Structures are given as C-alpha cells and as structure tokens.
Structure 1
C-alpha cells in the first residue's frame, strides 16, 4: 500500500491546543543503509537514521527511504557532512508501537547524528531521542502522542497539519464561490473543522453548510445533495480517504473538493475519470513536475534517478510523491547544511545545539528560509518551522496532480487573520 498522511493522525494529540490558542488570537529491524554511494569525505563516518514503515499491511513509506538514500549518496559525493562520510540506516517501525520505540533505542545505541524523515503514528519515539539529545529532523508530525509537534529535539518542516485552514483559499482560487464542509461527527474532527472555519473567515467565504456525518457512513448521496441544494460549489473534506472518494465521485463536476496532499491516492483518482477534475489539495512542497521552476526539485529528481540507477527500487518514479519524498529529501539537506556549520566534534548534541542557533536556513525556493530559533507560539505545536503550503489540482488527462497556481499560503497567517 502506498504511504499516505492519514487524516486521523493529522487530527491527533496536540492539535486541540493549536486551534484553541491560534483562533483565540495568538500574535525494529536493523538498518538497511550502509554508505550510499562513493564518498569524497575523509573523516570518521557518521550515521543518520530514517524511521518509517515499509512492507506492512498498513500505510508504508518506501519513497521516503529511497529519497533519504538518494540524498545521502549525493551528500557523500559532495564530501559528506563536515568532511565525514555519511552512513544511512533504515529502521522499519512496521506500524507497531513497540517496534517504533525499539527503533528509537537503536538510534541511541548506534549513536546516530540525527533521525531524518521519521514517520510513525504510534508515538513514543521522541521521548527516547530527547533523553539522548538526538535531533529529529523532518518528522511527519502525525504521532498519536503529539510529541513530534512539541519535543524540543523535533524540527517539523511539512505543515500538512494546517491543511483545512488553507483549503478555503485554494477552493476560491479554483473558482468556488460558496464553500461548505463534510466532516465526521467526532470530537477529533472538531479541531480540523475549526481550522477550516478560520480559513473560510480569513478568505471572506464563511463555511456553510458544515455537514457532520457518522464515521460509518458509506452512502454520501444525501450529503452531496445537501451541499448542492445549499448552493455550495466547494467543500473542505475532513473525512478519511475512502469517504473522500465517495464524496468526490458523487459530486462529480458539481462541487470542488479540497483535502490534504498525500491523503488521496492518484491510482484511485485515476479510476474516477473527469469526475475527479474538481479535486484540489493543500501540499507542503512544489510538485515534482515543477522541476523547471524549482532548481532544488530538479536536483532532487536527479539524485533520485541516480539512486534508482544504482538499483534502489524505492527511488523509482512510480513511488515518488511530492509530499513524503520531498520531506525525507529535505530532512537530509537540513542535516547537511546545519551539520557543516558545527564547530568542534560532529555529534548529535552539537548538531542539536547548532540547529537551535540557526535562524535563516536557506534551502532554496522549495520552502521559505527557516528560523529554527523561534518555536511556533502555539502550545502543543511549537516545533512546526514551516507553515507555507501550496495548491495542486487533479488532472484526469495526465492522471496526476498539477500546480493550481504559483502562489503560496501560510497556514498560521491565515488562522491569525481569522482570529483578529
């Protein structure tokens, strides 16, 4: 199964504090790595680890592992980090809470420099890394305990947590005039729905109607009928992927819909034909097809191609995604750029200290410069250092997501405007 950022995880612990404060007006298996590619570095090797599930019956992220390997291969070709060749380990957390904690302990036992691109829904990883002073760079921010969003050793660069706040802006940009919402009648959904309400207020398009359905709903015909009867021609979706597909299929060309990138499968959307052409998504990074406009995307694709040519099927184009592939690749870039600034021994603790001193991290145009010295002023979500998102739309002709426009949207700024 292809990896997806799950809605339930996006609505996990920590988001209640995000919403409450922002809208109130806040101003394992052992590693499979080894040294990826030949190295021009001469120092003692240092280790990075990626923790992500692969080969399970649940959500899997092989593209993240392939992207991390590709990035490390290129880092070593450039001379390593601070002159040290890099060895990448992959610990498969297998979508299992106990295994996830064992992966974290393995990172400690192996004295890794940093964990890069971690994704685990169970939680429990950050406390172990924190006790050892090991930074986690580019975690997905989807753990059930919310620790990825709050631990002082965590540096989150993918802001999909804020997708409902951005969706109203994307729907308006796509041509919607009246925006509704379809969400579950669960308390966990309240957090995301409040974000959508803030996004609607900030764009001058209040969310109406807000349709709450039981999580067991399978027939969304009445729901779509309610949307269309209300005059809504756009809808923010706060439902799981299968329910989202049902709404999209029923809505067809009548209602534009918006969800988080990585939640909807391109394979399934392709089966809907033109009925899916009204789908837009909030995404953390540019599309892979935008390599001509974003030099860093072009470099990433080149490095992935080199990794695939070396025999790594996890780097193949068929498994790449703009969301999770780019997140893992960027995580290694951050480790490299900040690691090159470390004075003294290149250790996890010294890297963590340097990360906490980094206030203008230039990663090119793929994301805005990152200030890692200033946590987000939102209890429970302090460690999200990039709030900028983009829009993409589904194109049934190419069977892929394409850029919606050239604009970027800051999810936190949208929520602050709503609170003002």
Structure 2
C-alpha cells in the first residue's frame, strides 16, 4: 500500500491465523479503494466535491433591505446545478440575514467559517470590520460585495466587482456638474454616510462646481419633510437635489413632492440602488417627480441586452420570487459576483476547491468577462485603482442615466471612468 512505512526488522514466524486474516482483510479493503470501489467523493478518482459559498444581506429591517441578493444566489445555484454544477461541482449556497446590525453581520461571517464556505459572494453590509475579521482569520475571500464598506476596498481578501459608493457618488457629482448651479446632498446620518459628501464634492470639482450642501437625515425615518425643505432651500433656483438613502430614498422623495411649489426650478437626482425603474413607475412615470432626473449607476440600464442571460435564469429558476427584481443593483451585483465565482472554479479545474485556491487564482490575474456588464475584471496589483481609502477598486466605471418619458435610458453611451475623479 502506498504511504505505508516498511518495517525495519523482519518479523519472526509467530503470526497467528487471526493476524493473517486481519491482514488479508486490510489488503482487500485497500484493493477496493485502488480499483475505485468506495472512493471518497472529492478525492482523486472521485466526483468533484461540492462548492459551498455564502451570500448575506439585510432582510425585513426598518432601513435598507436587499432580499433580492440571497434570492438571486439561490436561483443561480438552481440554474448551474440543473446542468451539472460548476465544472462538475454542485454549488451549495448558504444565505444569512445580516439585519443591518453589526452583531448579526459578524454572526453571518462566523457561520460562513463554521460551515466551511470557500467564499462569500455577492453580499451586502455596512459593517465591513465585523465581516472581514472572521473571514480574514479563516482566509475566506469576499467576491463581489455591494461596496458599502471601506474594508471591501482595503482587505487583501476582498475582490470587488464594482467601485462601490465611492464611484457612484463621485460619478453623480460629475454627472450633475454641467446642469446644476448648486447641489444639495441628502444622505444618511451614519458613519457610512459621513464619507459621501467628500465623494460627491470630488465629482463636482471635476466640473468646476463648488461643494454640495450636506443635508443629514435619519436612515430609518418615516417622513423627510424637513430634510426636503432644507435641501430645496440649499439647492436654490437652478440647482439640484440628490438623495442617497438606499431603500428610504423613496420615502424621501414622497416627502419632497409634498413640499409646496415656490416657483424655483430644481432638478432631482440619485444613484441606482436608491432609485430604479419600479420606483419611477410607482410615482407616476413621465408625470411623476423623477421625469428628467439624473441617475448614476454601476452597470448598463436594466433593459440592455447584456442582461438577457440573467433574466433568463430568473425566469426559469427563480420560481416567480417577488424578491428578485432584475433592475435592482443588488441582484445585478450578485449575478456578476457569481459569474466571477464560476470563472474561478472552472479555471482551477480540480476536484476539491478551497479558499486558498480561489484567492491564488484571483491574485495571479484570472480575467473575468461579464459579457459587457462591466469592463473585464482582474485583481492583479497593477489593475487596482490605488486611490486613498479605495486601493482595491478594479472597476472604476459608472454609467450616466436619465429618466425620459418615464423610462430610465442612457444619458451617455457606454461607461464613464471616474478613476481620476477619485484621485488615482
């Protein structure tokens, strides 16, 4: 038998018959392994071992919720497993409710470690420190997070697929600069929200505009009338009001449209994820408050043909799950993150996938083609932005969109690189 040490001395002829029978049994068992009977799955000669990953996001909270992200992950798994898995590996997806809570976020990360996940994929959390500490201790990579926390762009185990809030806000400022004399930014009064004014100011400066007025608002408020009134006052005639409150942006603009008109012309704006086509439709379409609104996103508009593969998977494998909106950037980010995971597992092409093999493949320059949804993604050192606070951004592109006749359409064709705006 291979791997068995030879005895250093010759045994005497004192073996009993029972010892000889035990030896024969051992030899037979060994032969069965060599010939393939009883091969352990995932070892050499067996079938590829399952690949276990986790996707977490807040669900059912009073602040921003992202139920479409874990739902999209489950649909993706059903899709790939229906055709033999990823390179023969069954994809097992664990989901966890992050609850917009630091303790719950840490619990999700610790569960990923406990259940031997090889990666966290396409997830959402503001609590980067709480998430990355357990993952880093276990050397588990984080692929394609939503981009809400600083750690997603600083941790050596994070592989972002978009530029996070940094590129959205810098891009939004750059998009607004040509059309807005002054800008008022309505943002959450949180630690994460504290970074947003500097980012939008960088974009405004790119267009030689002054700083945006900073209007803080509670993340979980049920009425934003005072914030709306203050934003209109700060923007002034010919100005713009941009709101970045996640799910609560809808509540803000509901309050905003109820503020009495005063004759001033004020344009509204936001970023994708805070405003999308469903909200535009529900507030009156072309007759609603978002007609003419300027919006900044990471990806092409939801009607772009590049999204067809994702839409097909949702149609066939989501079982009419209402949580999955193909226009939701969280759903879109999850699709792109799992696209990256699939490319990595296929490139490794081994029976057992480990966290270390995934990080090695990514660090060594594996390129991920997302079918035009992003530029080709690669996480080598030379591909990273290197901007202060966001060194691991590899996708510095955004899209400029506008609402015309009640529909989100491109304001400008293709992607806009905001790397220089961020100081790279």
Relative to the length of structure 2, the TM-score reads 0.74
The answer to whether the 8 A contact 1:368-1:386 is kept is yes
What is the alpha-carbon distance in structure 1 between the residues aligned to residue 69 and residue 188 of structure 2?
A: 33
Query: Could you tell me which residue of structure 1 aligns to residue 311 of structure 2?
Result: 301
> Aligned pair count?
359
Are 2:266 and 1:255 aligned?
A: yes
Query: Could you tell me which residue of structure 2 aligns to residue 402 of structure 1?
Result: 409
Query: Could you tell me which residue of structure 2 aligns to residue 199 of structure 1?
Result: 203
Are 2:117 and 1:112 aligned?
A: yes
Instruction: For residue 403 of structure 1, report the CA deviation from its aligned partner.
Output: 2.8
- Asked which structure has the greater RCO (Cα within 8 Å, sep 6+), the reply is 1
Alignment equivalent of 2:397, drawn from 388, 403, 409: 388
Q: Compared with structure 1, are the counterparts of its residues 347 and 57 closer, same or farther at alpha carbon in structure 2 (3 Å cutoff)? A: same
The answer to whether the 8 A contact 2:291-2:403 is kept is yes
The answer to whether the 8 A contact 2:186-2:241 is kept is no
Q: Compared with structure 1, are the counterparts of its residues 96 and 185 closer, same or farther at alpha carbon in structure 2 (3 Å cutoff)? A: closer
- Greater Rg, structure 1 or structure 2? 2
What is the alpha-carbon distance in structure 2 between the residues aligned to residue 253 and residue 275 of structure 1?
A: 14
What is the alpha-carbon distance in structure 2 between the residues aligned to residue 325 and residue 253 of structure 1?
A: 37
What is the alpha-carbon distance in structure 2 between the residues aligned to residue 236 and residue 329 of structure 1?
A: 27
- 1:262-307 deviations in Å (ceiling 9; x for gaps): 113655543263332122211111122112xx2xx11010011111
Relative to the length of structure 1, the TM-score reads 0.75
Which consecutive residues of structure 1, in runs of 5 or more, have no partner in the other structure? 1-40
- What SS is found at the alignment partner of 1:193? helix
Alignment equivalent of 1:287, drawn from 283, 297, 301: 301
What is the alpha-carbon distance in structure 1 between the residues aligned to residue 103 and residue 188 of structure 2?
A: 31
Q: Compared with structure 1, are the counterparts of its residues 302 and 268 closer, same or farther at alpha carbon in structure 2 (3 Å cutoff)? A: closer
- What SS is found at the alignment partner of 1:341? helix
Alignment equivalent of 1:264, drawn from 263, 266, 275: 275
Alignment equivalent of 1:357, drawn from 353, 364, 370: 364
- What SS is found at the alignment partner of 1:414? coil
The answer to whether the 8 A contact 2:141-2:157 is kept is yes
Are 2:351 and 1:339 aligned?
A: no
Query: Could you tell me which residue of structure 2 aligns to residue 149 of structure 1?
Result: 153
Are 2:148 and 1:137 aligned?
A: no
What is the alpha-carbon distance in structure 2 between the residues aligned to residue 330 and residue 190 of structure 1?
A: 28
- What SS is found at the alignment partner of 1:178? coil
Q: Compared with structure 1, are the counterparts of its residues 381 and 248 closer, same or farther at alpha carbon in structure 2 (3 Å cutoff)? A: farther
Bigger shift: residues 350-359 or 404-413? 404-413
Bigger shift: residues 214-223 or 122-131? 214-223
Instruction: For residue 222 of structure 1, report the CA deviation from its aligned partner.
Output: 6.0
> What pairs up with 1:119-268 in 2 under 5 angstroms?
119-123=124-128, 124-143=130-149, 146-161=150-165, 162-171=167-176, 176=179, 178-183=181-186, 191-203=195-207, 205-207=208-210, 210-213=212-215, 215=217, 218-219=225-226, 220-221=228-229, 223-225=231-233, 227-229=235-237, 232-237=238-243, 241=249, 242-243=251-252, 246-247=255-256, 254-264=265-275
The answer to whether the 8 A contact 1:274-1:396 is kept is no
The answer to whether the 8 A contact 2:50-2:92 is kept is yes
Are 2:418 and 1:415 aligned?
A: no
- What SS is found at the alignment partner of 1:338? helix
- 1:119-163 deviations in Å (ceiling 9; x for gaps): 1223411111111111111112224xx322221111111324122
Which consecutive residues of structure 2, in runs of 5 or more, have no partner in the other structure? 1-45, 219-223
What is the alpha-carbon distance in structure 1 between the residues aligned to residue 420 and residue 53 of structure 2?
A: 33
The answer to whether the 8 A contact 2:176-2:204 is kept is no
Q: Compared with structure 1, are the counterparts of its residues 147 and 78 closer, same or farther at alpha carbon in structure 2 (3 Å cutoff)? A: same
The answer to whether the 8 A contact 2:78-2:317 is kept is yes
What is the alpha-carbon distance in structure 2 between the residues aligned to residue 226 and residue 328 of structure 1?
A: 37
- What SS is found at the alignment partner of 2:422? helix
Q: Compared with structure 1, are the counterparts of its residues 394 and 152 closer, same or farther at alpha carbon in structure 2 (3 Å cutoff)? A: same
What is the alpha-carbon distance in structure 2 between the residues aligned to residue 261 and residue 357 of structure 1?
A: 32
Instruction: For residue 186 of structure 1, report the CA deviation from its aligned partner.
Output: 7.2
- What SS is found at the alignment partner of 1:394? strand
Query: Could you tell me which residue of structure 2 aligns to residue 24 of structure 1?
Result: none
> What pairs up with 1:47-126 in 2 under 5 angstroms?
47-123=52-128, 124-126=130-132
What is the alpha-carbon distance in structure 1 between the residues aligned to residue 362 and residue 380 of structure 2?
A: 8
